[in-house]
Amino acid sequence: MNHRQIEAFHTVMISGSTVRAAELMNVTQPAISRLIAELEKSLKFQLFDRVRGRLVSTPEGKLFHREVTASFRGMDRIRAAAAAIRDYGEGTLKIGCLSAGGGTLVPAAIRDFRERNPKVRITFHITWSAAIRNGIIDGQYDIGLAADEIDRSGVDTQLFGNFSGTIAMNPDHPLCRHEEITPEMLAGQPLIGLASEDRARHRFDEVLAHAGIEPDYVIETPSSTTICALCLSGDAVGLVNPMATHTYRKTLQFRPFAPKVNFRSYIIYPADSQKSVLMRDFTACLLRQRDKL
């Protein structure tokens, strides 16, 4: 018993005759008859009775065709899955993102991506960078956007951005009158700071220390987005990642900080693996949104 014999039997059953089956399979009618005879010999029971020159399926043939039909449905599913992989990668994309990119930038990249891949199912989580890195290793995410404090061992990375930090403040804050904020202007100023393990925070503190300024952190938080929210309602200011500022541009004031303190972020992928079509496409969408900042 082989696939060609099964295909001939199935085609006869659905078309009703060996002549029509031969047309559908692009072979001769004797070839169809031969394939059916070989299949019957292999099975050791008759699939058809010959009645006045026509093939009429036997009860055994009908039972056998139920199984064959189920098999062909399975093949149809396999073909559909293959088409989905060819056209849409794996058909799903699981994304992990740091908070700074989760408000506007990555959602915009997802919109861009979905215009090109409308049938792909997307999972999108906003979480801290270490969890994104661990999720990539564990298979929870296919692609992630994380800050540079992550342990980059065990994952593949691509530099996403090296953005100059900006000082966020309430529109009524006295520092708004300046075009640029320097370390000296922050002497005695209540600050909202990133978490102590954040590398941008380390670079900011080093700049302040070099200028002889002791920072007065009244609040600490791991998220630039949260710093922006806190700046709305108080006299404290904070250095933030520009990726987090878009949502607050109408309600907060932002000023460049000099000397520059950079926020580095990376796109991260599973280690030592080929990137799927979806991952490559989404990476391109991320980079397009980055270039609009």
Same fold, 3-88 and 92-162+265-290: no
Q: How far apart (Å, rounded) are the C-alpha atoms in residues 101 and 290? A: 10
Distance between first and last Cα of the chain: 63
| Between residues 274 and 180, the one the model is more confident about | 180
Q: How many CB atoms lie within 10 A of CB 191?
A: 19
Which segment of 45-54, 91-100, 110-119 scores lowest on mean pLDDT? 45-54
Average pLDDT, the chain: 91
Q: Which residues contact 49 (CB under 8 A, 6 or more apart)?
A: 55, 56, 57, 58
**Mean pLDDT value across residues 118-146:** 94
Q: How many CB atoms lie within 10 A of CB 65?
A: 18
pLDDT higher than 70, residue 153: yes
pLDDT higher than 70, residue 89: no
Which segment of 88-97, 118-127, 160-169, 265-274 scores lowest on mean pLDDT? 88-97
Residue 243: pLDDT band by 50, 70, 90 thresholds? very high
- The predicted pLDDT at position 106 comes to 97
95, 97, 105: which is closest to 126 by C-alpha?
97
pLDDT higher than 60, residue 148: yes
> Token pair 């932002």 is at which residue?
254
- The predicted pLDDT at position 80 comes to 64
- The predicted pLDDT at position 76 comes to 67
Backbone φ and ψ of 291, nearest 5°:
-70, -15
Q: How far apart (Å, rounded) are the C-alpha atoms in residues 230 and 82? A: 50
**Mean pLDDT value across residues 271-281:** 87
pLDDT higher than 80, residue 108: yes
Give the CATH number of domain 3-88; options: 3.20.20.70, 3.30.70.20, 1.10.10.10, 1.20.1250.20.
1.10.10.10
The token pair that represents 216 in the structure block: 């007065």
pTM (2 decimals)? Answer: 0.68
Q: How far is CA 263 from CA 128, 194, 201, 227, in A?
A: 15, 12, 9, 15
Where are the chain's structural domains? 3-88, 92-162+265-290, 166-260
166-260: which CATH topology? D-Maltodextrin-Binding Protein; domain 2 (3.40.190)
Contact predicate 283/158, CB 8 Å: yes
Beta bridge partners of 49: 56
**Mean pLDDT value across residues 265-270:** 96
Q: Please state which architecture CATH assigns to domain 92-162+265-290.
A: 3-Layer(aba) Sandwich (3.40)
Residue 163: pLDDT band by 50, 70, 90 thresholds? very high
Q: How far apart (Å, rounded) are the C-alpha atoms in residues 28 and 20? A: 10
Q: Which residues contact 72 (CB under 8 A, 6 or more apart)?
A: 10
Q: How far apart (Å, rounded) are the C-alpha atoms in residues 284 and 278? A: 10
Q: How far apart (Å, rounded) are the C-alpha atoms in residues 58 and 64? A: 10
> Token pair 């990642």 is at which residue?
241
Residue 72: pLDDT band by 50, 70, 90 thresholds? confident
Q: How far apart (Å, rounded) are the C-alpha atoms in residues 232 and 80? A: 52
